[in-house]
Each structure stands twice: as structure tokens, then as C-alpha cells.
Amino acid sequence: MLTLDFPGSRILIDTIDDAIAKHSATAITDSLRNSLCRLIRGNEVQLPACVFEANTDHYARRELYCSEKLGYCVVAMTWGPGQGTLIHDHDGMWCVEGVWNGALDVVQYERLEAADGRYHFRPVGSIQAGPGSAGSLIPPHEYHTIRNPSDEAIAVSLHIYSGRMTHCAVFQPLDEDGWYQRAERQLGLDQVH
Ligand SMILES: [Fe+2]
């Protein structure tokens, strides 16, 4: 079902449909990563204006499309200055994330051990991703944080998930270095208009 019609939305959907036909999560996400970079750098796809409006109290998640037939979902996220996430997983789904506007700091974490509901993580890589760049995550290598490092500019990213992600696990830092408390989080959606 198309929730929103915007210039180039058909191109975006056809491109993702083609990639999803590939045989493995790695092949699909490799293809989507390349396509997403190309689409961001080109001008055929113009995301709806609301996607460029940040919320003051949380980063915005706007669902642009979910494929009934193929199951994947496309979500645009808008990051106000300094807005970001805790360490989180993707509920077992693969994901391709591209930066449409601005820049985002992405840090990947490796889960080392767990004890008494507490989890130990180690950062294993960080990048500052600019417009026209894209990365992918395939479980179990899915733990990461995203943050807009700017003091004044918003950032916009486009996320393609293998399914509709309604909740995920987030990890709150504890006092001890590298240890976190797990919590389940329901993910809300912001209005597309
Ligand atoms: Fe994420």
C-alpha cells in the first residue's frame, strides 16, 4: 500500500522491489545500498516536504511505504540538532539506511556478554555519514546508535526494513563502563502530511 505519493515514489518502489527479488539478505542489502546512494544523489526522487520538518522533543519517524506483497517498509527519519538513539537492535530485521540530508554519526556495537538482564557492548566502528551515503545492517550484527552531531542543522535519513518494525530493544547505559540495561521500546510513527 502506498501511504504517500511523491515525485519519484514509483521509481523508489520499483527499485526496492527489484532488489528484494535477490536470493539472500546480503545480496538484497548490497543492491539496496547501491541503489539508495544513486537515488539520493540524483534528483528523480523528491521526498515529501514534511520529512524535512524536525520535532522538538524526539526524532521523527514517518512511514512512507509498506509493501503488502513483499513485506518491506520504508521509513523517513528526521533528526533535529543533537537528536539520536540509544544502542538498539532491529528486532531481527535487516535494514538499509541512507542519509538524504545533513550528516549522521553512526556507531556500531558488538554484544559481548549478558548477565542478570545486563548487557556488555563494545563499540566496533563509527562513521560520519553524509548525504548520498548508505549502510546496511544484517542481524546479528545490528546493534548501533545514530545521532545528528550538528548544533543547528537537521538531518534526514531513509530506512528500508525487511518488515514493519513496531518495536525493538534499546539499551540504557549503566554506571559501569560498557554495561547496559535492556528495555523493550514501542516505536511510534509521526504523521505524514
Ligand atoms: Fe537503527
Expressed in angstroms and rounded, the spacing between residue 5 Cα and the centre of ligand 1 is 25
Is residue 115's pLDDT more than 60?
yes
Check the CA dihedral 105-110-112-117 and report its sign: positive
**What's the pTM?**
0.94
Expressed in angstroms and rounded, the spacing between residue 88 Cα and the centre of ligand 1 is 6
Strand ranges, E, within the chain: 60-66, 73-79, 87-88, 95-101, 104-115, 118-129, 134-137, 144-147, 155-161, 167-173, 179-186
Q: How confident is the model at residue 1 (pLDDT cuts 50, 70, 90)?
A: low
Expressed in angstroms and rounded, the spacing between residue 11 Cα and the centre of ligand 1 is 24
Q: Do 73 and 165 meet the contact criterion of CB atoms below 8 Å apart? A: yes
Domains of the chain: 9-186 (2.60.120.10)
Expressed in angstroms and rounded, the spacing between residue 89 Cα and the centre of ligand 1 is 7
Expressed in angstroms and rounded, the spacing between residue 90 Cα and the centre of ligand 1 is 6
Expressed in angstroms and rounded, the spacing between residue 86 Cα and the centre of ligand 1 is 9
C-alpha cell at 159: 530506512
pLDDT tens digit sequence for 15-66: 999 999 998 999 999 999 999 999 999 999 999 999 999 999 999 999 999 9
Predicted confidence at residue 131, as pLDDT, reads: 95
Q: Which of 123, 85, 90 is nearest to 104 (CA)?
A: 85
Expressed in angstroms and rounded, the spacing between residue 64 Cα and the centre of ligand 1 is 17
Is residue 3's pLDDT more than 70?
no
Predicted confidence at residue 102, as pLDDT, reads: 97
Q: Which residue would you say has higher pLDDT here, 3 or 129?
A: 129
Expressed in angstroms and rounded, the spacing between residue 66 Cα and the centre of ligand 1 is 17
182/164 Cα distance (integer angstroms): 21
Expressed in angstroms and rounded, the spacing between residue 110 Cα and the centre of ligand 1 is 14
Q: How confident is the model at residue 116 (pLDDT cuts 50, 70, 90)?
A: confident
Q: Kindly state the percentage of the chain with pLDDT values over 90.
A: 90
Expressed in angstroms and rounded, the spacing between residue 124 Cα and the centre of ligand 1 is 16
Expressed in angstroms and rounded, the spacing between residue 123 Cα and the centre of ligand 1 is 15
